[in-house]
Amino acid sequence: MSDEELLAKATNSAGEASPQGEQTPKLAFLFLTHGPLPFSPLWETFFRGSTGLYSIYVHPHPSHLDSWPQISPFYGTRIPSKVVHWGSSTMVDAERRLLASALLDPSNRRFVLLSESCVPLFDFATTYRYLMGSSRSFLSSYDDPRSAGRGRYNPRMQPAINATHWRKGSQWFELDRDLALRIVSDRKYYRVFEEHCRRRCYMDEHYIPTMVNMLWAERSWNRSVTWVDWSRSGAHPRRFGRADVTDGLLNRIKHGSRCVRDGNVTSVCYLFARKFSPDALEPLLKAQNSSM
């Protein structure tokens, strides 16, 4: 099935979720990866005991060979994939491919995009209640006045997209079903971005944040639920290895912020965190086991 056929199928068949009460609503976890999932033991523990409450979709490099045992929740979750190049439109293509695949299941109500360097911060029950209980999606979209923000805007995008519309944000989103469907259904703005947001524009950082800001800003809390450390300069966030993983770091990530959720101030602003190196698995497993 081509991408256009998949997007059209998702658009035509996913207009409505299952009627309330007929099927248990599920969280769809969309893993956009280079290849292996080094933190699969963490995720397997996270998903344990929650069968029927989640779906998993994995988009790896096409050449990657899976080796999941049948008892793993990741077994049989791979979707047809294509090569993804960092910063290009192929990144957005992969995101929409994952969303469209997940939308084909009418019981999927919320959709969270994750990478192989992402880890869960809380247990599944906490994560499920947090996301299912939210009245909006979680997508960061902000005006960055620097060259790495407004400087990437191409005036040739007019009249479809004006400079005042232009936004930047984290690609690691969490969407409700309606917003996911709107993004998968879009053709107009995708074509504008594909033609005029190239090279150092980084379409994955601007396409969805700009479109949501223009059309459906009221549908998002305008923040991500995936924590990342951008305190160091550079094109990539800080990566945390084995020696960095401490109780102090994890507690700071889990409870060191303040945000608003459905009118209430909370210290639980993040449900996932990145970027972690594969050698961080052991201390992360120990922390997970001690908190359960």
What is the residue-level pLDDT of the chain in tens, covering all 292 positions? 899 999 999 998 755 555 555 689 999 999 999 999 999 999 999 999 999 999 999 999 999 998 899 999 999 999 999 999 988 899 999 999 999 999 999 999 999 999 999 999 999 999 999 999 999 999 999 999 999 899 999 999 999 999 999 999 999 999 999 999 999 999 999 999 999 999 889 999 999 999 999 999 999 999 999 999 988 777 788 999 999 999 999 999 999 999 988 888 999 999 999 999 999 999 999 999 887 5
Q: How many helices and strands, by DSSP H and E, does the chain display?
A: 9, 9
Peptide linkage before 237 cis (omega within 30 of 0): no
**pTM (2 d.p.):** 0.95
Full set of structural domains in the chain with CATH:
3-226 (3.90.550)
* Rounded-to-integer distance, Cα 234 and Cα 205, Å: 15
Please list the helix, strand and coil fractions of the chain in percent, rounded to the nearest 5, in that order.
40, 15, 45
Residue that the structure tokens 């790495």 belong to: 148
Instruction: Report the C-alpha gap between 77 and 81 in whole angstroms.
Output: 12
Cα radius of gyration rounded to whole Å, the chain: 19
